[in-house]
């Protein structure tokens, strides 16, 4: 475990640099192995998305911006974009025409895009920021910038409140009212993005600063370092007393605009359409404390302050170049950022728990919860198996949707039987390098039954039980539904347990304690779903599950080769839930995993 002040946590090991908004990681190993060099094409999705933001601001033909967004999404799903580009197959990807293909090729060859550089020179950053607000078109953003000097969303809000917008020809009080409503909705959304959306830009900015100040003098802090599912700000701490030099260095990063710093921070910036950036500049001998204070939750810091007082120390007066030194002054082991929540971790650490056995990416041997072309996946069984093998997995579970998920081409009983033959053929094709386990992701029906015929269970290696419909049931009905399902005497994995979609759909309403009691009774396994839109079950629920002695799987919920890499997000959430490697079933070898999750005991 790395314990340096600015070191990434074990769950972030092997992360290649990525761009803002890519939503998925670049290729990383999942078992201990040499770290591959970063992909030359890794920045391409982020650059395409930034081009789209500029085009939305300058081009009345919104289809051009949408085309670049579609292109970014398409190449984001490719596991080895470098190879696709080098083989000249980039235009075979859906949504990638000749123009976008040329831009992607240029990015892979040079690391940048002349189109983006030209847009940056020609289009004021304020126009891009205004056009990112839903309800403000590109031409409107340019007019507001040109005629009122509006440079930001905050400027526009002041102009509306002061009645300056209505002074423009054709605009009036109703326009100001509409714009204020759009700004309020934008403010509610902006600054709150899923972890995967913010992480790429955050890591890239951290790497940019470290290239100048060193790995031990610049680090991410805050919620993103603790793997919080929703990121409101990107916080960084830099060991430098030259605040203006740091500001100029960040200006040179090229993707941010300056803003006012929040209280307690030295500098403020913003990504267009993304989170605010808060930077604290400090002296080297205060770097350890400031990084600690800007990373841990308020509750964690209160626990540390109490322990410091017990030892005759004042926590915020301790001078140290690293967090490790401060923990040592308190007679504590270094605590990983993910556990710094103020939920009793300091007491556990004082009693000898150093959290060194938290699950890591390198512990995961099996790719669990994978979809194929048979339902709503993008690859065949064999292609998914080979993709998993390339990432270092020893086994993969094929768990396509059941018939109730008709919208995802779910498999009925006959198609599920036929798939067993296809899995056997794929296993023969790939040989014994990776084991392919046959299963299903069956719906938990509204009455609590499983959407799989009982006579098929003995032939399945794994059953994942998930809710895909009727999310809006009342709490009593939903609790009854889940309790009935999870108490069934069938070994099953409870898939994306609360059905949430980050910032889009709330968790299903249920009394979670009752549901987890039923899960323990029915020997259910709890999934930690790494789909960047889900990250489900949440850490508090994972800790409650641990207290009941439940077992877990860490899954990607993968529908493509690139989707397999989402396992790393599940690892981050699992660590926040304090999951130890011995509690996670897919850290086991294939034969032991298969025995542990078999629906009907042999």
**Under a CB-based contact definition with an 8 Å cutoff, are residues 385 and 602 in contact?**
no
Higher pLDDT, 158 or 483: 483
Q: Share the mean pLDDT of the chain.
A: 87
| Backbone φ, ψ for residue 172 (5° rounding) | -150, -170
Q: So what's the pLDDT on residue 9?
A: 42
Q: How far is Cα 429 from Cα 423, in angstroms, rounded to an integer?
A: 10
Q: How far is Cα 252 from Cα 261, in angstroms, rounded to an integer?
A: 18
Q: Is the pLDDT of residue 580 over 90?
A: yes
Average pLDDT over residues 387-395: 96
Find the distance separating the first CA and the last CA of the chain, reported in whole Å. 39
Q: Which domains does the chain have, with CATH numbers?
A: 1-21+191-356 (3.30.460.10), 44-189 (1.10.150.20), 361-597 (3.20.20.140)
Q: What is the pLDDT of residues 66-124, one digit of tens each?
A: 888 888 877 876 767 888 888 888 888 877 888 899 999 999 988 888 999 998 888 88
Q: So what's the pLDDT on residue 162?
A: 79
Q: Is the pLDDT of residue 410 over 90?
A: yes
Average pLDDT over residues 383-390: 96
Least confident of 28-37, 241-250, 391-400, 589-598: 28-37
The alpha-carbon radius of gyration of the chain (Å, integer) is: 25
**Under a CB-based contact definition with an 8 Å cutoff, are residues 301 and 315 in contact?**
yes
Q: What is the pLDDT of residues 518-558, one digit of tens each?
A: 999 999 999 999 999 899 999 999 999 999 999 999 999 99
Q: Write the secondary structure of 68-114 as one string of H (helix), E (strand) and C (coil).
A: HHHHHHHHHCCCCHHHHHHCCCHHHCCCCCHHHHHHHHHHHHHCCCH
Q: What is the pLDDT of residues 324-356, one digit of tens each?
A: 999 999 999 999 999 999 999 999 999 999 999
Give residue 49's pLDDT band: very low, low, confident or very high (50, 70, 90): confident
Contacts of 564 (CB under 8 A, 6+ apart): 79, 367, 370, 384, 387, 388, 391, 393, 556, 558
188: which DSSP letter?
H
**Under a CB-based contact definition with an 8 Å cutoff, are residues 417 and 450 in contact?**
no
Q: How far is Cα 518 from Cα 480, in angstroms, rounded to an integer?
A: 10
Please state, in angstroms and as integers, the Cα–Cα distance from residue 254 to each residue in 31, 47, 204, 398, following that order: 35, 11, 11, 43
- In this structure, the dihedral spanned by the alpha carbons of residues 96, 99, 100 and 104, taken in order and rounded to 10 degrees, is 120
């Amino acid at each position: 475990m790395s314990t340096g002040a600015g070191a990434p946590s074990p769950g972030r090991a092997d992360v290649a640099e990525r761009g803002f908004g890519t939503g998925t990681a670049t290729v990383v190993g999942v078992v201990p192995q040499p770290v591959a060099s970063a992909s030359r094409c890794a920045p391409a999705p982020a650059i395409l998305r930034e081009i789209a933001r500029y085009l939305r601001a300058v081009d009345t033909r919104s289809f051009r911006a949408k085309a670049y967004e579609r292109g970014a999404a398409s190449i984001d799903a490719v596991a080895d974009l470098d190879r696709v580009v080098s083989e000249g197959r980039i235009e075979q990807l859906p949504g990638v025409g000749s123009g976008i293909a040329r831009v992607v090729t240029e990015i892979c060859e040079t690391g940048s895009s002349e189109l983006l550089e030209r847009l940056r020179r020609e289009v004021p950053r304020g126009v891009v920021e205004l056009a990112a607000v839903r309800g403000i078109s590109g031409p409107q953003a340019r007019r507001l910038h040109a005629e009122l000097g509006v440079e930001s969303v905050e400027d526009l809000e002041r102009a509306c409140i002061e009645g300056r917008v209505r002074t423009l020809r054709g605009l009036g009080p109703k326009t100001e009212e509409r714009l204020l409503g759009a700004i309020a909705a934008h403010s509610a959304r902006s600054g709150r993005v899923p972890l995967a959306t913010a992480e790429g830009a955050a890591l890239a900015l951290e790497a940019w600063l470290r290239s100048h100040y060193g790995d031990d003098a610049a680090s991410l802090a805050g919620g993103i370092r603790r793997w919080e599912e929703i990121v409101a700000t990107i916080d960084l701490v830099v060991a430098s007393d030259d605040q203006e030099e740091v500001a100029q260095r960040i200006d040179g990063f090229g993707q941010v605009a300056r803003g006012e710093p929040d209280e307690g921070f030295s500098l403020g910036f913003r990504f267009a359409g993304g989170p605010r950036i808060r930077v604290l500049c400090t002296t080297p001998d205060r770097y350890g404390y400031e990084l600690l204070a800007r990373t841990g939750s308020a509750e964690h810091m209160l626990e540390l302050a109490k322990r410091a007082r017990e030892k005759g120390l004042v926590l915020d007066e301790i001078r140290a170049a690293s967090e490790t030194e401060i923990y040592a002054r308190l007679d504590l082991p270094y605590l990983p950022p993910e556990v710094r929540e103020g939920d009793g971790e300091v007491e556990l650490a004082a009693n000898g728990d150093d959290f060194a056995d938290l699950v890591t990416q390198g512990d995961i041997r099996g790719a669990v919860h994978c979809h194929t072309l048979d339902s709503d996946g993008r690859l065949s069984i064999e292609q998914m198996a080979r993709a998993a093998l390339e990432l270092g997995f020893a086994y993969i579970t094929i768990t396509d949707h059941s018939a109730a998920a008709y919208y995802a081409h779910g498999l009925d009983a006959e198609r599920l039987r036929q798939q067993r033959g296809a899995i056997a053929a794929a296993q023969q094709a790939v040989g014994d390098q990776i084991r392919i386990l046959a299963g299903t992701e069956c719906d938990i029906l509204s009455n609590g039954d499983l959407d799989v015929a009982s006579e098929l269970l003995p032939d399945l290696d794994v059953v994942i039980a998930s809710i895909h419909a009727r999310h809006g049931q009342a709490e009593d009905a939903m609790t009854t539904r889940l309790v009935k399902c999870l108490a069934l005497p069938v070994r099953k994995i409870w898939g994306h347990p609360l059905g949430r979609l980050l910032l889009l759909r709330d968790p299903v309403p249920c009394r979670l304690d009752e549901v987890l009691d039923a899960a323990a009774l029915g020997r259910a396994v709890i999934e930690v779903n790494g789909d960047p839109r889900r990250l489900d079950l949440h850490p508090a629920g994972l800790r409650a599950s641990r207290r009941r002695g439940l077992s877990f799987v860490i899954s990607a919920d993968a529908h493509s080769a690139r989707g397999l890499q989402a396992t790393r997000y599940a690892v981050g959430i699992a660590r926040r839930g304090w999951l130890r490697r011995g509690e996670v079933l897919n850290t086991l070898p294939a034969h032991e995993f298969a025995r542990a999750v078999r629906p009907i005991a042999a």
